[in-house]
Structures are given as structure tokens and as C-alpha cells.
């Protein structure tokens, strides 16, 4: 039995394809609706599974091709995050057999596939690959900077997470490590190339540059909706990071930042001396940003893809507190009022200070000086921006009026 699956997000198609093949179906996939129409004519599948929202051509056009152009009764299952009642009604009016809303269980998709076209003779229900996975509406890239993480990298936690959570692509950035970190990362990627990328920097450039390069690299992936970064030691765990993703996909926020605020029901631990310095630094940061941020320096943040360039295009002034620079860039680009609407600080359920942290107490003290550097640098940029604006207005004001002549 042949199944044709069409979805512009490859991370959605991979677990679907593998699981259906395990069950005995012959599966063909494509990320293009136009290519899907060609494949339908070529392979004549027994079932078509198609998304609605795709960039070049809507999945509705695939349905029209099958029902109106070809005038055939091939079963069609819609698998989409589009919950517009008008679209759903239109799909059924055109003759789709099933409409499933993301997120949903992969197991349910397989069960409905069997209901529509039956189970293959080679149906193997004992297979477990991706069996309990939830197919998400969104796809997320996660940048993980690594410097000498050979002994600390929790490889099993990362692999277990991507096996149970579809729609995630991890990008490990090797920041010129002197130990065997690169080999550990390459071993971690083997067999998981669709879900894990290793970006290798030959020279150590610091965490800020490693994150920046990783974010810009992941921004090139067209099927990713959101991109974030996370510390390699998982002081913020992956479950908490997934909660940040859920917040950004269900709100209008452009950036959701984790916050290590001590409160009832949360497991937040810090060294006492580090906590005092942290409180001092955060006070200065709030003065610089003119925002009531409780914790800008948490190593877990998620960004809407359309603010990646503003946040990461230019190199950062400092190595450790680039988070402050990100928020300052957003403020300068969009204005303070708009920036406050775009940024969300979300308390974490758990954060543990991991042994072997690369940030020493001496570095923490240096940060105070780096904050002064940020304040001066971005104050200068704001001044330059104002002068450029005034200069442009002056030029426009003094330009002669030119009549527009239609050719």
C-alpha cells in the first residue's frame, strides 16, 4: 500500500515516514505541494497525507488536483496546524476524508491511516521507533555552544529528547575546543543527521560568537519557525526549554527568555557568592535596558525567526553578557515601548549550577566593566542613529519637488 506525504517541514515528515514504513506501508514524501502533485500522478498512491499551509502552493491545491482535475476518490488526510473553520469546511467540501489538527499523536495518525486504507500484510506493531512521538505544529532549531565539553556533555539526554519530541533540530557549535569535544559531537550526530548539526569553529571565539554563528546558520533552514539557544550542561533542562517554545508559539512574543527566579515549586540553586554578584549585575542591567528584567543571563532563550537578523547579524561587544546586547539591539530597532511588548521573561521550573562552569567568579566581576562598555557603545549607536535620521530629514526637506511622469 502506497502513501504520499506532503509537508513543507522535513522534521514533520521524517518520523511519519519511518513509522509508516515500519508498519509496512510504501511511503514517498516531499516538502513541495507542486512536487506532490507530480508525484501523485506518477506513483498513484493509495493515500495522500497533506499539510495546508505551505509556502509556494497550498495543500488545498493538491486536494483540488486529486478531486477536480483527476476526478479520483483516492483517500486524502489533512495534517495541519490550520484551525480556520472556513478552511476546514472548504477541505471537506472538496472531498477530504479526514482532517487532523497539529499537534497530534503519531500513533493516532497511523491508526487513522489503517482505518482509511487498511493495514499492510507486513504490519509490524512491535516496532517502537517514534511510536509515542507527538507531531508538532512548529519546528524549532536549538543552538548549543560547546567548549571543552567532552566530559560534561549529556549525550543521552539530548538523543532521548529528539527521539520523543518531533520538530526539533539541534545545532552543536564546537567553539575551538582543545579536548575531544568535536569527536564526541560527531559521534552523537551519527545516524541522526536529520536532527543534529555540528558546526565547527576552528578557533575559540567565546560563547557569544559561538551562539551568534550558530543562530545565523540555523536561520538558513527554511522549515524552522523558531530558533533558540541552550547551555550544553543543561543547567536549564530540555523540558523547561520546550515550555519556552510553547509560550512563543501561542503568543505574540518575539523572544521568550528563561528566568532563574527562586520561588515556591521551583528547583533553583546558585552558589551564595555568585548569587550576590548576580543581583548586583542584574540591577545595573535593568538601568541600562530601562526594563524590569529579573534575569537576562539565563542560558535558555527562544526567538521568532523574523528577529534573528536584528539580534545576531553584528558581532557582540562582549563575550559573556551578549544577552544584554540582544535586548538593547531590539530596543534600538523597535523602540522601547514595542520592545517591552515583544519580550517575555518566563520563570523556569528548574535550574542547577553545573560543576565545571566556564564562567569564574573573576569573570563575574569583570562583567561590571563590560556592562559599562555596552552602555557606552549602544549609547553612541543611538546618537549616530538620531543624527542620521535628522540628516536624512534635512536632505528630504531641501530636495526639489520632481513630478512623476507615467511612461
pLDDT tens sequence across 303-359: 999 999 999 999 998 877 898 899 889 988 999 899 989 999 998 886 665 555 555
Local confidence band at 175 (pLDDT 50, 70, 90 cut-offs): very high
pLDDT at position 264 is 42
C-beta atoms surrounding 299 within 10 Å: 22
2-117 domain in CATH 3.40.50.2300?
yes
Q: Could you give the residue ranges of the DSSP H alpha helices within 23-146?
A: 33-43, 59-64, 85-94, 106-117
Distance CA 102, CA 80 (A): 6
Let me know if 200 is exposed, middle or buried by CB neighbors in 10 A (0-12, 13-18, 19+): middle
pLDDT at position 125 is 55
Most confident of 7-16, 90-99, 396-405: 90-99
Local confidence band at 169 (pLDDT 50, 70, 90 cut-offs): very high
| Predicted model pTM | 0.79
pLDDT at position 245 is 94
Chain centroid, CA 407 distance in Å: 47
- Crossing angle for the helix pair 10-22 and 106-117, nearest 10 degrees? 60
Distance CA 97, CA 91 (A): 9
Mean pLDDT computed over 284-297: 74
pLDDT surpassing 90 at residue 268: no
Pairing of strands 300-304, 226-230: antiparallel
Local confidence band at 395 (pLDDT 50, 70, 90 cut-offs): very low
pLDDT at position 392 is 44
Local confidence band at 399 (pLDDT 50, 70, 90 cut-offs): very low
For 229-248, what is each residue's pLDDT tens digit? 999 888 888 889 999 999 99
So what CATH class is 138-383? alpha beta
Arithmetic mean of pLDDT over the chain: 84
Distance CA 402, CA 75 (A): 61
Query: What φ, ψ does residue 243 adopt, rounded to 5°?
Result: -65, -35
Instruction: Give the chain's radius of gyration (CA, Å).
Output: 25
C-beta atoms surrounding 63 within 10 Å: 22
pLDDT surpassing 50 at residue 37: yes
Structural domain boundaries in the chain: 2-117, 138-383
Mean pLDDT computed over 132-144: 87
Amino acid at each position: 500500500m502506497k502513501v504520499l506525504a506532503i509537508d513543507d517541514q522535513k522534521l514533520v515528515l521524517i518520523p511519519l515516514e519511518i513509522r509508516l514504513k515500519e508498519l509496512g506501508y510504501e511511503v514517498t514524501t516531499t516538502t513541495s505541494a507542486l512536487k506532490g502533485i507530480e508525484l501523485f500522478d506518477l506513483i498513484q498512491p493509495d493515500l495522500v497525507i497533506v499539510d495546508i499551509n505551505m509556502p509556494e502552493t497550498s495543500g488545498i491545491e493538491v486536494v483540488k488536483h486529486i478531486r477536480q482535475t483527476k476526478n479520483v476518490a483516492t483517500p486524502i488526510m489533512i495534517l495541519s496546524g490550520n484551525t480556520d473553520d472556513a478552511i476546514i469546511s472548504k477541505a471537506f467540501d472538496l472531498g477530504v476524508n479526514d482532517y487532523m489538527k497539529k499537534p497530534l499523536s503519531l500513533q493516532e495518525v497511523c491508526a487513522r491511516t489503517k482505518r482509511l486504507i487498511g493495514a499492510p500484510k507486513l504490519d509490524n506493531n512491535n516496532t517502537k521507533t517514534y511510536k509515542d512521538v507527538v507531531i508538532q505544529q512548529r519546528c524549532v532549531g536549538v543552538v548549543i555552544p560547546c567548549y571543552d565539553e567532552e566530559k560534561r556533555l549529556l549525550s543521552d539526554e539530548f538523543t532521548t529528547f529528539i527521539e520523543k519530541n518531533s520538530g526539533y533540530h539541534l545545532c552543536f557549535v564546537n567553539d575551538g575546543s582543545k579536548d575531544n569535544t568535536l569527536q564526541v559531537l560527531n559521534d552523537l550526530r551519527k545516524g541522526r543527521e536529520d536532527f543534529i548539526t555540528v558546526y565547527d569553529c576552528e578557533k575559540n571565539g567565546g560563547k557569544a560568537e559561538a551562539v551568534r554563528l550558530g543562530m545565523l546558520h540555523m536561520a538558513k533552514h527554511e522549515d524552522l519557525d523558531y530558533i533558540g539557544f541552550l547551555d550544553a550542561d543543561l543547567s536549564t533542562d530540555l523540558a523547561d526549554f520546550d515550555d519556552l517554545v510553547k509560550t512563543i508559539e501561542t503568543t505574540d512574543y518575539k523572544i521568550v527568555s528563561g528566568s532563574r527566579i527562586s520561588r515556591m515549586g521551583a528547583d533553583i540553586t546558585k552558589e551564595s557568592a555568585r548569587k550576590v554578584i548576580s543581583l548586583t549585575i542584574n540591577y545595573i542591567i535593568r538601568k541600562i535596558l530601562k526594563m524590569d528584567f529579573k534575569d537576562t543571563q539565563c542560558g535558555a532563550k527562544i526567538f521568532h525567526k523574523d528577529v534573528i537578523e536584528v539580534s545576531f547579524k553584528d558581532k557582540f561587544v562582549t563575550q559573556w553578557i551578549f544577552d544584554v546586547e540582544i535586548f538593547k539591539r531590539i530596543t534600538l530597532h523597535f523602540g522601547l515601548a514595542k520592545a517591552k511588548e515583544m519580550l517575555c521573561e518566563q520563570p523556569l521550573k528548574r535550574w542547577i549550577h553545573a560543576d565545571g562552569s566556564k564562567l569564574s567568579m573573576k569573570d563575574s566581576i569583570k562583567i561590571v566593566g563590560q556592562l559599562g562598555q555596552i552602555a557606552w557603545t549602544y549609547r553612541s549607536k543611538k546618537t549616530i542613529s538620531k543624527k542620521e535620521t535628522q540628516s536624512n530629514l534635512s536632505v528630504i526637506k531641501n530636495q526639489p519637488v520632481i513630478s512623476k511622469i507615467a511612461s
